[in-house]
Amino acid sequence: MSREPIKVVLLVENCGEDATFLRATFQHPIAPEIEVIHARSMAAAETFLAQRSVDIILLDLQLPDARGLGAVRRAHAAAPRVPLVVLGIDDDAMAAQALREGAQDYLVKAEIEPRGLLRSLRYALERKTMQETLSMERERAQVTLNSIGDAVISIDTSGNVIFLNAVAEKMTGWPWREALGVPLTNIYRVTDDNYREAGENQGEMQASQDPPSLADCILKRRDGVEIPIEDSVTPIHDEAGRTAGAVIAFRDVSAAKAITLQMAHSAQHDFLTGLPNRMLFADRVKQAISTATRHSKKLAVMFLDLDGFKGVNDTLGHSVGDRLLKSVAERLVHCVRGSDTVSRQGGDEFVVLLAAIEQAEDAAITARRILQAVAESHSIDRHEVHVAISIGISIFPDDGFDSETLIASADTAMYQAKEIGGQNYQFFRAAMNVRAVQRQSIEESLRQALERDEFTVHYQPKIKLSSGEITGAEALLRWTHPTRGPVSPAEFIPVAEDCGLMVPIGRWLLREVCRQARSWAARGLPMPRMAVNISTLEFRNENFVQNVFAILREASLAPETLELELTEGALMKHVESTQSILNTLRAAGVQIAVDDFGTGYSSLGYLRKLPIDALKIDRSFIRQLTSAAPETTMVTALISMGHNLKLRVIGEGVETQEEMAFLQSHQCEEAQGYYFSPGVPGAEFAKLLKMGIFEAALAHH
Ligand code: C2E
Ligand code: CA
Ligand code: CA
């Protein structure tokens, strides 16, 4: 089936800006292996398609040499078997026409975002495959029907049989010699009421001027077997124009019936799993909504997406992947009631309709059951395959009044479930949408922020608690949005990570930090250790280490001046590669600090194995210091853990004199926080460096 991933996309787009945007979309980390070929005109696209095939065509409807429907037709003609997704402005009429001309989907340019685009392409490919299979089946059915001959019986004016052909003999079970002269109604026993009346009342039949009837009815064979038939009756006239009898022609439609049924089933079901497809699902939701409304009940829509399914496909192959999908489908069906609907949307995405529930909590119960059922190992081919699933839930009438909205809300919630690590369920909350919108607008402006030079770096001093000296500077990224003003890194860094921008931004920052260090040194200032935050994604980038070294070399800075701050989360993943990356950095002299220490799940045994220099106690623990006495033990414990591991301990987020004093009295080596100074621009930090000592730290000592 269409489990094959999309590899080559032909983008037909003349507007340079749009093309750049769309290409960038394909560079999104969720679509790493797609090759995008760009044609600027229909002519160029046609030339290309004549030579090479592609998996999908993404077609702009405003080309200089082809517009609107003309463009759809030409693209379709150039590559009739390749699914076509068109890009236009928000124009419903055009969209409907384009779909009628064979386009698989119509996307509104202004609304495109990476996940939606990729999903649309994937579904287009699947739909195309499905349509081809369907039309093949239809053709085969036609051939089958044509090869079956018609049965023919003719009768005289009194309704007695005068002739049966071979097919009619077989179908009625009457050899024609025996049937001769027998009343038609004895031989041709049909259970269609309309016909029986006509058959029993010759006068009426003869008088009838209606065109030959073509009704579906059941023929009862001589031995009692029932055969679905389709028949027609034609009166025979003699030369004088008087009715001389009639010819009844009929055919066995059981095969055709079966095929029709099967075709109806295929059109509404997923080929791979046999589950209802999107169309049927939408129908079911519609019905369920009207029932729920009548009985003032609720219903739930769940959007489910396997975690790491691509990995299964890549390592074990598509056939195992397909069977895993079937196995998941079976388990989903077992987790719900007979009145609920499980459907596959495409790819590794499923949606479930819980038709009538009393309260949202009922959906949570089912979600938990699903999480557990799917997580149990699937035996496929000798493989024990493990897979997790993320679930988003929306509730009617709370989160939407129609199928589309409910599915979209559940999808948003599912995305949230993924974000917090997968293998969990989330209910839709209206705030998610707001956040999604915000996120998207941040993403758009972030793309331009580097070019427009909107980033700056602030430096926050780290103070040695025994002497008050500045030992280091933590670099903090600052972004000033052209209209929104300063945006918090807590807000934009996750977005930058998501859309693949964190790596280039991180490189820019490291370069800037090194440049700053050089310029302080050139002015004869004491060089602090420069601490830089590294997000998980930056750290996992294959060129990360190489880049750090290259940038240090470029700035002729000793590796010892650089300290990388990594969170526990970043360190605890992929234990072996983490260890080897850190070893390489550490061997060169780069310092490593564990950021936000205490908030993650570090295993001490594991930390002991890593080449680490410092621990930064998360500011949430420092915050508890002054409030109540018992909590202070947590900071004490964290400090002694650090010392046990022979690490430098840094308390971060120190805001008051008491907090500082506590750390000082517990032999915490360094501190950082608003009590000393917030992050400040480089020029201001230079003044702090010149001053050298924080008297405040000494006052108490
Ligand atoms: P973080 O690494 O824990 O950075 C310390 C954060 O605490 C900074 O917030 C800093 O301004 C704030 N802070 C410092 N002293 C105090 C204090 O006394 N009280 C309180 N309440 N807060 C204090 P900021 O700059 O908003 O950064 C937030 C987070 O964004 C950082 O947390 C870090 O995870 C991330 N981040 C910042 N810059 C970068 C960067 O260049 N690269 C990466 N990957 N992440 C960065
Ligand atoms: Ca930090
Ligand atoms: Ca921190």
Cα three-residue angle 208-213-214, rounded to 5 degrees: 175
Q: Which of 323-332, 408-417, 509-518 has the lowest mean pLDDT?
A: 408-417
The number of beta carbons lying within 10 Å of the beta carbon of residue 93 is: 7
- Reduced to 3 states (helix: H, G, I; strand: E, B; else coil), residue 350 is strand
145/646: higher pLDDT: 646
CB 551 within 8 A of CB 516: no
- DSSP secondary structure letter of residue 109: G
User: What is the number of H-type helices and E-type strands within the chain?
Assistant: 29, 28
- Atom 13 in ligand 1: residue holding the nearest Cα: 653
Walk me through the domains of the chain, giving residue ranges and CATH numbers.
8-134 (3.40.50.2300), 148-268 (3.30.450.20), 278-428 (3.30.70.270), 439-700 (3.20.20.450)
Confidence at 212, pLDDT banded by 50, 70, 90: very low
pLDDT band of 144, cuts 50, 70, 90: low
**Residue 259: per-residue pLDDT:** 74
pLDDT bucket at 344, cuts 50 / 70 / 90: very high
**DSSP of 42-92, one letter per residue?**
HHHHHHHHHH---SEEEEESB-SS-BHHHHHHHHHHH-TTS-EEEEESS-H
Mean pLDDT of all residues in 176-187: 91
What does the pLDDT look like over 366-394, one tens digit per residue?
Answer: 999 999 999 999 999 888 999 999 999 99
The yes-or-no verdict on residue 43 having pLDDT over 50 is: yes
More confident position, 467 or 6: 467
Q: What's the chain's average pLDDT?
A: 86
Whether 207 shows a pLDDT value over 50: the answer reads no
Nearest Cα to 233, choosing from 159, 290, 179, 167?
159
Mean pLDDT, residues 656-660 taken together: 92
Helix (H, G, I), strand (E, B) or coil at 349: strand
List, for residues 391-442, the tens digit of each pLDDT value. Answer: 999 999 999 888 888 998 999 999 889 888 889 999 998 777 666 667 777 8
pLDDT at 147: 60
Instruction: Give the pLDDT band of residue 121 (cuts 50, 70, 90).
Output: confident
Ligand nearest to the CA of 653: 1
CA of 533 to the centre of ligand 2 (A): 5
Q: Ligand nearest 539 Cα, by number?
A: 1
Identity of the amino acid at 358: E
Q: From ligand 2's centre to the CA of 356, what distance in Å?
A: 49
Helical ranges in 173-317 per DSSP H: 176-179, 184-187, 193-200, 202-207, 254-268, 278-294, 309-316
Q: What is the DSSP string of 196-225?
A: HHHHH-HHHHHH--SPPP-EEEEEE-TTS-
CA of 456 to the centre of ligand 1 (A): 14
Q: Where do we find the tokens 């004549």?
A: 50
Sign of CA dihedral 608, 610, 613, 615: negative
Ligand index nearest the alpha carbon of residue 616: 3
Query: CA angle, corner 24, sides to 40 and 480, nearest 5?
Result: 125
Distance 426 CA to ligand 3 centre (A): 28
Q: Whose CA is nearest to atom 43 of ligand 1?
A: 533
pLDDT score at 143: 64
CB-CB contact of 260 with 228 (8 Å): no
Q: Is the CB of 653 under 6 A from ligand 1?
A: yes
**Is 445 near ligand 1, meaning CB less than 6 Å away?**
no
Ligand 1 contact via 533 beta carbon (within 6 Å)? yes
Residues contacting 674, CB < 8 A, separation 6+? 653, 654, 655
Question: Given a cut of 50, is residue 200 above it in pLDDT?
Answer: no
546-581: per-residue pLDDT in tens?
999 999 999 999 999 999 999 988 887 777 889 999
- The CB density around residue 327, as the number of other CB atoms within 10 Å, is 18
pLDDT mean over 444-449 = 88
Closest residue CA from atom 20 of ligand 1: 653
Pocket test for ligand 1, best of 446, 458, 462, 476 (most atoms within 8 A of CB): 476
Q: What is the mean pLDDT of residues 170-185?
A: 91
The predicted structure's pLDDT at residue 698: 65
Torsion over CA of 411, 416, 419 and 422, rounded to 10 degrees?
A: -70
Looking at residue 201, its pLDDT comes to 42
3-state secondary structure of 465: coil
Using alpha carbons only, how large is the chain's radius of gyration in Å? Answer: 37
From the CB of 398, is ligand 1 less than 6 Å away? no
**What is the arithmetic mean of pLDDT over 494-503?**
86
**Among 347-351, 493-497, 571-575, which is the least confidently predicted range?**
571-575
The per-residue pLDDT for 208 is 40
Distance CA 491, CA 524 (A): 37
Kindly state if the Cβ of 501 falls inside 6 Å of ligand 1. Answer: no
CA-to-CA distance for 353 and 301, rounded, in angstroms? 5
**% residues pLDDT > 90 (the chain):** 49
83 lines ligand 1 (CB under 6 A): no
Closest-lying ligand 1 atom to the alpha carbon of residue 618: 3
* C-beta 486 within 6 A of ligand 1: no
